[in-house]
Structure 1
Amino acid sequence: MPSIPQPLVPGDDGSADASVAAALAAFAAGTADSTDVVSALSTARLLVPVVALLTESEVGEHGLRQEKESEMALPVLVGADGRKAVPAFTGTESLKLWRADARPMQAVTPQVCRAALGEEAAAVVIDVAGPVPFAIEGGMLRALASIGHVTAEGEGIQALLNGLAEHAEVTVARVTTPKSGFFRRFRRPKH
């Protein structure tokens, strides 16, 4: 039987990290650039959504179709151009804006980026439904994914800088609305 992992941040109330929220707000206002957001995200706790997918149903004794079996899955966004992205959220409020029935799973940004690459996704989209959507892709996605276990803020930033040196073509794109880049569509993860 699989074990339930312990939360990264016991007692987490689901609020967005203050430094990440501030960086995203400044980015939206045009007073900060994408590197400020990525710097704040490099050591941040994010919430990755997990949703139930119906895998088998049956007709119950009252003649109504009902769930017989379901699986928990990581949703994947698929853009109009066919590229995949993994959604992640700064807090439970932004997760609820996107999909109220999704369950949050804690992960640090480098873990989310590694998961996205493992799913062959082109991006991680932060807060896809707002308040400030932000996409991490290309070399920046690979650089963040290359950060090892982050134990202190300074270590995270140094690992990010080392990763950037390896990936000169770094790009970070702003997503202005869910329709402009990525939209909601779910695919089951490959096992």
Structure 2
Amino acid sequence: MTHRFSSHEPTHGHDTGGVPWAGRTLTGTGFDGDSGTADPELAALLAQEAPDEVALVAAVGAARLIVPIVAVPSEIDDSSGIPVDARSDMASVTLVAPDGQRAMPAFTSTAALAAWNPDARPVPVTAQRAALAAVQEGCDVIPLDLPAPPGSPAATLRPSMVWALAMARPWRPAHEDEHVAAAVAAALAGESHVVSHTLAGAEGGALRVELELAPGLTQEQVRELLVSVGERIAADGEARARVDALAFAVRSA
């Protein structure tokens, strides 16, 4: 038998660092009986062309996800004249879109992961742990069940959804979110030119703030008002995390 480390003999009772095997305890992952199949409720929602997003995020939160881990070279040996990996580390996968948006893919089953990359190691995690990892890695979104390219994911969890999963709280669209409503109201407080406002959903999950303004404002005054209100909403960090995009619609009273 050829060993990767020529000076190491596993039967001598220790690892390559000299640490004895004896006394070590292997702890379970919490998914010891996991068959690797997708959660039925989540799979049914992902099969729909336009699933209810509230139900989808709730199903993701209750399901087990699988994140891919791949080997990346950490040390190159070129002593033979041909560079080869002398040592590799395992790392989670991060994808970067042309616009700079970062994504951490996750899968609902080992079959879905194998279809995307058969060499990736499947690691089962809770949805909260996956979301926390995405936030820590600076990933904006989590695509679910990426197919082998070319293609598109079965669904993509937007930043507000990832944040809700990381915080282990229910997700609501921004225009139905009480914290967002309070933040918008606070941002508009004292704006004498705003007669009334309503919140609505927009394309791509954006929040549309519809403002009824007093007549007589110039275009520049309206622009300054919108910039000021937008900055005040963004200053509320929790509201910013719950809003994927912000748009305004204005009309005269």
Q: Which residue of structure 2 aligns with residue 185 of structure 1?
A: none
Q: Which residue of structure 2 aligns with residue 160 of structure 1?
A: 170
Among 86, 89, 107, which residue is 1:68 paired with? Answer: 86
Which structure has more relative contact order (CA 8 Å, sep 6+)? It is 1
Among 112, 115, 134, which residue is 2:155 paired with? Answer: 134
Paired residues of 1:138 and 1:171 also in contact (CA < 8 A): no
Q: Does 1:11 align with 2:33?
A: yes
Question: C-alpha distance in 2, partners of 1:73/1:171?
Answer: 37
Q: Which residue of structure 2 aligns with residue 34 of structure 1?
A: 53
Amino acid at match of 2:111: E
Q: Does 1:105 align with 2:123?
A: yes
Change beyond 3 A, Cα 1:101–1:38: same
Amino acid at match of 2:75: E
Give the C-alpha shift of residue 6 in structure 1: 2.1
- % identical equivalent positions: 31
Q: Which residue of structure 2 aligns with residue 115 of structure 1?
A: 133
Aligned-residue Cα RMSD (Å) equals: 3.2
Q: Which residue of structure 1 aligns with residue 68 of structure 2?
A: 49
Paired residues of 1:137 and 1:171 also in contact (CA < 8 A): no
Question: C-alpha distance in 1, partners of 2:178/2:25?
Answer: 38
How big is each residue's C-alpha offset from its partner over 1:78-115, in whole Å with a ceiling of 9 and x where there is no partner? Answer: 11211101110000111011111000111111111111
Give the C-alpha shift of residue 128 in structure 1: 1.5
Amino acid at match of 1:83: Q
Change beyond 3 A, Cα 1:135–1:5: farther
Q: Secondary structure at the match of 1:50?
A: strand
Q: Secondary structure at the match of 1:82?
A: coil
Q: Which runs of 5+ in 2 are unaligned?
A: 1-18, 182-198, 206-253
Larger Rg: 2
How big is each residue's C-alpha offset from its partner over 1:30-78, in whole Å with a ceiling of 9 and x where there is no partner? Answer: 4x322221121111100011000012222466x6443211111011011
Change beyond 3 A, Cα 1:59–1:132: closer
Question: C-alpha distance in 2, partners of 1:171/1:140?
Answer: 16
Question: C-alpha distance in 2, partners of 1:123/1:85?
Answer: 5
Change beyond 3 A, Cα 1:167–1:121: farther
How big is each residue's C-alpha offset from its partner over 1:15-41, in whole Å with a ceiling of 9 and x where there is no partner? Answer: 111111011112x2x4x3222211211
Question: C-alpha distance in 2, partners of 1:145/1:171?
Answer: 24
